[in-house]
Amino acid sequence: MALQHDDYLRLVKKLHALNADYYTKNESELVDADYDSLYQQLKAFEAQHPLLVSPDSPTQQVGAGPEEHFAHHVHHPKMLSLANAFNADDLARFLNRVNKDAQDAQGGQVHLSIEPKVDGCAVSIDYKNGTLAVAATRGNGHIGEIITDNIRTIVGLPHTIPVQHNVTVRGEVYIKKSVFNHMKSDFANARNAASGALRQLDANVTKDRQLDILIYGAAIGGHESHVDTIDWLKSMGFPVVDALKVPALLPPLQNAIGAIDHSRSERDYDIDGVVIKVDHEPLQLVMGATAKAPRWAVAYKFAEEEGVTTLEDVSFQVGRTGIITPVAQLAPVTLSGVTIKRATLHNSDEIKRLDIHIGDKVRLKRAGEVIPKIIGVAEPGDDRRSILVPNQCPSCMQASVVPVDSGVAIQCINPQCPAQIKARIRHFCSKNAMDIAGLGDAIIEQLLASKCIDTVADLYALRYEDLIALDRFADKSAQNLIDAIHASKTRPLSRLLIALGIPHIGDVSADLLAARFPSLDALLTAKEEDLLILDQVGPKMARAIMALQSSVHFKQLIDALLLNGVQPTTSRVQNQPLQGQTYAITGTLSQPRSAIQAMIKANGGRVVANVGKKTNGLIYGDSPGSKYAKALALKDKGTPIALLNESEFMALLNESSQ
Ligand code: IVH
């Protein structure tokens, strides 16, 4: 139905409100696809009635304005948005325009760069004289908010680069899917959580959220070819998007889009499409931009494909901690080119919320997630059956099932449950843990069934003769597995901590504990107060470690691992003067801040963005900021925080190294 002028004005208001929510409150009332559809209606009206276009229309602006409490940063050049393409026709129109402008400008074959469109928050980062100087959010594209301290918490983003000319890089800050999934958060998705974390006033909070970044270009200081710019940024240590150079023709472009679409589930970050850019940067300049978006680039959004299929059954899967998760068994259906037969139902609350029954036709969505989601009932089945939560474990068949999480979830508490044992072994061998290649599900099952192993410790007692006697092994595969197991004996202590699946210990805390304790034994005999003194160890993690120390079962497992030759390596360097200490920096120093930060780190300390009760010292230079006043106030109240000027700090390092 065609829009009337009144409808149009209402739509302008509605989109404004949604924009404001999206950019400033990290939430969106509508999902992206719905927003896009309203936006398209608005654009269609404006195309038909150019004289009625309201100056307030979101088509005339980029995003909403920055919030008040951060200092502002003016973007040079402006951070533009991207025009969208939804289908092959849109792509063909874009290609025609590019090829025509290229003909007019220079002639010859044009190339494009095809990149994933990372679903996070855009930031711009200036490097001056090789040092990270200012980072800002996109804001309204013209003015953003300065969030330099928060950006500095991103592990893997270089603080210094080996070039002296000014470089401005632009990229997308995101939270890894694996991190977001383990995060207790009120945010609807990882992008909102990342946006919230970026705008924290306390950089320590940002740091806890473990942000990541992928750089997708240099606004200042790049090369002639965009793909060369990306390679150059990569060579300087920037995490960059993978940019593929293809000729500006539809078939190779569609192939590249298809390949990125298929890689979605393998990436540990959400992508919602691809970005297609003219590779030749001088041609980008010739093509120019509208007020809102460049003419030389386009975003091709993947469809959030929805489908309907029958819920045939619900099975219950036991994980390594014994938590039992309902899994929907579906009549096979293809969404975005992937055949789907299963979907997680999370827990009994989710089943109630969706009010689904076996036999129903259910609506299914596959967006960025690895696992497709059931989003509701499409049509109740004729003989619909309730989903019964089991009161015995589907794997060990024992009545060992107890409610947890206030009754929302159930857990099998039998430590000998075969499903848990299998899942624990699978986790132990996984890439992020002991990284033992070649130990897939089928082999683990076979090793357990043939009684070659009972626990992960038994893996290290396996011999070539044991494996070759089994069905699945030939000479080479048996030897490869023995070698892989052997190689894992000396994995770093942090990997072993992850492999053991200790509650509340993830990647970051495993690294922290491994850096602070000289050996596994030291960690397993540490007192609760030794643990709590560490900045990032909270009461939950300390309690989990205490519980392990008193577990006979865990002690037996560790003894068996050590007896069978597992010797985790530790990265802890002895006698570091600042070991375990945290320092903040404020004011102008005689050397770049990054140099002082590097010294703190090299001496075993950690740099924090703000001072707090646990901070050991503040290193201050000329015109110190608010951190100085805060540190003085803390000191006055009896907090043992050291205030050091630069030479006192250097003296401290020198003294300790003598
Ligand atoms: S280039 C002027 N490349 O998508 C062109 N943007 O919808 C600037 N984005 O604001 C953008 N991945 O935050 C570019 N590989 C990529 C990207 C990307 C994600 C974001 C970016 C931009 C938004 C536009």
What residues act catalytically? 117
Burial of 576 (0-12, 13-18, 19+ CB in 10 A): middle
For ligand 1, the distance from its centroid to the CA atom of residue 138, given in whole angstroms, is: 11
Minimal CA–CA distance to 120: which of 206, 190, 179?
190
Confidence of residue 68 (pLDDT cuts 50, 70, 90): very low
According to CATH, where is 3.30.470.30 located in the chain? 73-301
Q: Where in the chain is the domain with CATH 1.10.150.20?
A: 418-563
Q: Give residue-wise pLDDT tens across range 261-285.
A: 888 878 999 898 999 999 998 899 8
To test ligand 1's pocket by mutation, which of 61, 172, 269, 276 has the most ligand atoms within 8 angstroms of CB? 172
Does domain 582-657 correspond to CATH entry 3.40.250.10? no
Nearest one of 444, 237, 229 to 320, comparing CA atoms: 444
Question: Is ligand 1 within 6 A of the CB of residue 241?
Answer: yes
What's the confidence (pLDDT) of residue 477?
A: 92
Token pair of 343 as six digits: 């979907």
CATH number given to 73-301: 3.30.470.30
CATH topology (fold) of 418-563: DNA polymerase; domain 1 (1.10.150)
Task: Tell me if 278 CB under 6 Å of ligand 1.
Answer: no
Q: Where in the chain is the domain with CATH 2.40.50.140?
A: 305-404
Q: What is the pLDDT confidence band of residue 330, given thresholds at 50, 70 and 90?
A: very high
Around Cβ 618, how many Cβ atoms within 10 Å?
26
- Which pLDDT does position 65 carry in this prediction? 47
The confidence score (pLDDT) of residue 185 equals 64
Length of the chain measured in residues? 658
Q: In the chain, list all ranges with CATH 1.10.287.610.
A: 5-60
pLDDT tens-digit readout, 162-208: 998 999 999 999 999 888 877 766 676 788 889 989 988 888 889 98
Fold of 5-60: Helix Hairpins (1.10.287)
**Contacts with 528 (C-beta within 8 Å, 6 or more apart), sequence order:** 542, 543, 546
Give helix then strand counts, H and E, for the chain: 25, 22
Q: How far is the CA of 82 from the centre of ligand 1 (A)?
A: 7
- pLDDT higher than 70, residue 67: no
Q: What is the pTM of this model?
A: 0.50
pLDDT at 437 over 80: yes
pLDDT at 653 over 70: yes
Is the distance from the beta carbon of residue 122 to the nearest atom of ligand 1 less than 6 Å? yes
Supply the pLDDT for residue 367. Answer: 60
The residue-averaged pLDDT of 97-120 equals 89
Predicted confidence (pLDDT) at residue 588 exceeds the cutoff of 70: yes
- Lowest-pLDDT choice from 47-56, 124-133, 486-495, 611-620: 47-56
CATH topology of domain 305-404: OB fold (Dihydrolipoamide Acetyltransferase, E2P) (2.40.50)
Q: Is 60 exceeded by the pLDDT of residue 147?
A: yes
Ligand 1 near 299 CB (within 6 A) = yes
What is the average pLDDT across 550-558?
Answer: 92
pLDDT at 396: 95
Quick one: which atom of ligand 1 is closest to the CA of 117?
12
Over range 588-599, report the average pLDDT. 79
- Give residue-wise pLDDT tens across range 456-502: 999 999 999 999 999 889 999 999 999 999 999 999 998 999 999 98
270, 275, 285, best to mutate for ligand 1 pocket (most atoms within 8 Å of CB): 275
pLDDT of residue 371: 67
Give the up-direction half-sphere exposure of residue 282: CA atoms within 13 A in the CB hemisphere.
6
* Core vs surface per residue 174-211: b (16+ CB within 10 A) or e: bbbbebbeebebebebbbbbbbbbbbbeebbebbebbb
C-alpha span between 39 and 460 (Å, rounded): 60
Distance CA 14, CA 18 (A): 6
Q: Is residue 117 in contact with ligand 1, taking CB distance under 6 Å? A: yes
**Distance from the alpha carbon of residue 172 to the mean position of ligand 1, in angstroms:** 7
Decide: 644 and 581 in contact? Cβ < 8 Å. Answer: no
Closest CA to 270 of 308, 233, 293, 301: 301
Looking at residue 575, its pLDDT comes to 56
318 close to 291: Cβ distance less than 8 angstroms: no
Given a cut of 60, is residue 64 above it in pLDDT? no
- pLDDT averaged over the chain? 87
- The model's confidence at residue 658, banded by pLDDT at 50, 70 and 90, is very low
